């Protein structure tokens, strides 16, 4: 069976047993369940067209995982402060989209620890938990702080990442499960190390801007994988329009074939035919 449409970030769902299920969106209406396709041959064939995931404009090149160049220049969600929230400039009156920022940046955020390729610290809008962790391929995750805005979360993350990485090694993540980490012990260690600096952030940003979450528990995730690759070869539609093979697994935003892996989110907006 063939399906045609523009790729979107895979939709995840956490089942009651901790397993993660996936759907592949092709446009806004078609969602293809992927777990039933494990162990089967399938292909993604790029049709040579890219449409911006925001405005729908046809573009010869995709930026920031799916946007055209005008949208990258115009949208607040494509600004540098999204990657580096400590650089938020909303209070300076220079935000590209103040209303969007109020709905997305000036909202409660979570500072967390996760284990995908090893221990890391990260931040996410509160309403994006636990989706954020599944998108990163985390096998364990723990909320450690709730803060009032994205800007505050960036300041706190800057403090914590002096002691722990803020990055996922995606190739290592795709080769197998990371060894278990005692996230609760790591939380206590890091918060003790950073207590004074985090206290200064709270004092500067106001009472209640930083709230500790000692009651939070560790969440665990299991991904639909038949076999992990020993070597990670990454597919790129810009160089190779046809991606095909036996689907061996899904983790984070990656499809794992016996022939290589592909980051679906990276190619959002690419028009493809899915052959199953």
pLDDT of residue 29: 85
Map tokens 């990055």 to a residue: 167
Query: pTM here?
Result: 0.95
Cβ distance 81 to 88 under 8 Å?
yes
pLDDT of residue 208: 93
**What are the 10-residue block averages of pLDDT along the chain, 276 residues in total?**
94 97 92 97 97 96 96 97 95 96 97 97 98 98 98 98 96 94 98 97 96 97 96 96 98 98 98 96
pLDDT of residue 196: 97
pLDDT of residue 58: 97
Residue ranges per structural domain of the chain:
2-60+223-275, 108-220
3-state SS of 69-116 is: HHHHHHCHHHCHHHHCHHHCCHHHCCCCCHHHHHHHCCCCEEEEEEEC
Cβ distance 257 to 44 under 8 Å?
no
Map tokens 């636990």 to a residue: 130
Backbone angles phi, psi at 236, to 5 degrees: -140, 115
pLDDT of residue 167: 95
pLDDT of residue 261: 98
Q: How many CB atoms lie within 10 A of CB 45?
A: 17
pLDDT of residue 27: 85
HSE-up of residue 138 (Cα within 13 Å, Cβ side): 28
CA 187/CA 206 separation, integer angstroms = 23
User: C-alpha distances in angstroms, 117 versus 86, 149, 166, 174, 213?
Assistant: 25, 27, 11, 8, 24
Q: Which conformational region is residue 26 in: left (phi greater than 0), alpha (psi within -120 to 50 degrees), or beta?
A: beta
């Amino acid at each position: 069976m063939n399906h045609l449409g523009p790729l979107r970030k895979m939709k995840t769902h956490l089942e009651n047993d901790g397993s993660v299920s996936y759907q592949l969106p092709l446009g806004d209406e078609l969602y293809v369940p992927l777990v039933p396709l494990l162990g089967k041959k399938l292909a993604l064939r790029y049709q040579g067209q890219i449409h911006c995931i925001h405005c729908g404009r046809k573009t010869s090149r995709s930026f920031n995982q799916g946007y055209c160049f005008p949208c990258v220049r115009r949208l607040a969600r494509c600004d540098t402060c999204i990657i580096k929230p400590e650089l938020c400039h909303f209070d300076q009156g220079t935000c590209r989209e103040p209303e969007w920022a109020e709905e997305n940046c000036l909202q409660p955020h979570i500072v967390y620890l996760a284990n995908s390729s090893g221990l890391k610290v990260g931040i996410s809008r509160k309403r994006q938990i636990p989706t954020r962790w599944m998108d990163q391929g985390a096998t364990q995750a723990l909320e450690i702080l709730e803060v009032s805005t994205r800007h505050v979360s960036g300041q706190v993350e800057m403090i914590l990442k002096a002691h722990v990485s803020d990055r996922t090694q995606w190739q290592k993540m795709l080769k197998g499960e990371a060894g278990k980490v005692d996230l609760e012990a790591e939380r206590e260690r890091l918060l003790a190390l950073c207590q004074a600096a985090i206290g200064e952030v709270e004092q500067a940003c106001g009472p209640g801007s930083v709230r500790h979450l000692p009651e939070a528990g560790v969440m665990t995730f299991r991904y639909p994988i038949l076999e992990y690759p020993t070597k990670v070869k990454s597919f790129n539609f810009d160089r190779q329009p046809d991606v095909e093979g036996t689907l061996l697994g899904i983790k984070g935003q990656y499809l794992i074939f016996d022939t290589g892996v592909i980051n679906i989110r990276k190619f959002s907006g690419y028009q493809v035919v899915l052959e199953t």
